[in-house]
């Protein structure tokens, strides 16, 4: 089975297993992920917002536009990367995803990663970071690649601030832009 077919099968499994039924019941779409299934890098955000729920695509609202700008500045395009979230349904009123919701989706996220097999996994914000790097502070580790093993699979993780948090915060914004500019160098070292 090719990667796209495997990801479609995984999407189907989330629906048939009725993962997070309360979230599913109020969501318009399951937001699985978007981009290049053969990408060297996968970005992982928190959960879909309103625009993502409506379109079925991750990071298409204001945070997504900022993400696109930073990708361009780093010499990348959305079509070069794969983008997903830890939680695949929109939490009501854009509240933070709960620990239970994140736990329910984690096995599917790990399967997504083992299908795509990226060289580098970039977490956006603390919700996706904390499962890979528990007990660290994002302020101390942002932008620093770390080698970790989860569920028997080894990854290079790069924790970054979330674009929505950095969008309107001048100092965080510059830190995130600088961290993004460093990403291609991390990828080059892995090739």
Chain contacts with ligand URA (rule: CB under 6 A):
45-49, 52, 58-59, 61, 63-64, 85, 164
Instruction: Kindly tell me which of 16 and 63 has the beta carbon lying closer to ligand URA.
Output: 63
Among residues 163, 144, 178, 133, the alpha carbon closest in space to that of 43 is found at 163
Tell me how far, at minimum, the Cβ of 90 lies from ligand URA, in Å.
Answer: 9
Rounded Cα distance between 73 and 59, Å, is 17
Specify whether the CB–CB gap between 182 and 169 falls below 8 A. no
Query: Least distance to ligand URA from the beta carbon of 85, Å?
Result: 5
Q: How far is the CB of 103 from ligand URA (least distance, A)?
A: 17
CB nearer to ligand URA: pick between 48 and 143: 48
Taking the least distance from each CB to ligand URA, the nearer of 64 and 145 is: 64
Q: Is the Cβ of residue 97 or residue 118 nearer to ligand URA in the bound state?
A: 97
* Pick 77 or 149: Cβ nearer ligand URA: 77
The CB-of-1 to ligand URA minimum distance in angstroms stands at 26
In the bound complex, what is the minimum distance in angstroms from residue 86's beta carbon to ligand URA? 8
- Side by side, the strands of the sheet bearing 34-35 are 34-35, 82-85, 41-45, 120-124, 153-160, 146-150
**Bridge partners, residue 155, by sequence:** 148
Q: Are 52 and 90 in contact (CB under 8 A)?
A: yes
Task: Name the residue nearer to ligand URA (CB basis): 5 or 99.
Answer: 99
Rounded Cα–Cα distance for residues 89 and 56 (Å) = 9
Per-residue DSSP letters for 76-92? --GGGSEEEESS-SPPG
- Three-state DSSP class for 103? helix
Q: How far is the CB of 37 from ligand URA (least distance, A)?
A: 18
| Beta strand 120-124 pairing with 82-85 | unpaired
């Amino acid at each position: 089975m090719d990667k796209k077919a495997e990801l479609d099968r995984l999407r189907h499994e989330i629906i048939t297993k009725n993962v997070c039924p309360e979230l599913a019941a109020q969501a318009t779409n399951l937001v699985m992920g978007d981009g290049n299934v053969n990408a060297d890098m996968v970005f992982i955000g928190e959960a879909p917002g309103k625009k993502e729920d409506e379109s079925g695509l991750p990071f298409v609202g204001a945070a997504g536009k900022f993400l696109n700008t930073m990708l361009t500045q780093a010499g990348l395009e959305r079509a070069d990367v794969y983008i997903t979230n830890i939680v695949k349904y929109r939490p009501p009123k854009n509240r933070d995803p709960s620990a239970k919701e994140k736990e329910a989706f984690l096995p599917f996220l790990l399967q997504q990663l083992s299908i795509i097999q990226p060289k580098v996994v970039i977490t956006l914000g603390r919700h996706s970071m904390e499962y890979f790097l528990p007990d660290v502070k994002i302020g101390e580790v942002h932008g620093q690649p770390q080698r970790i093993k989860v569920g028997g699979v080894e990854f290079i993780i790069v924790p970054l601030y979330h674009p929505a948090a950095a969008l309107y915060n001048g100092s965080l914004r510059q830190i995130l832009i600088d961290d993004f500019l460093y990403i291609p160098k991390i990828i080059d070292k892995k090739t």
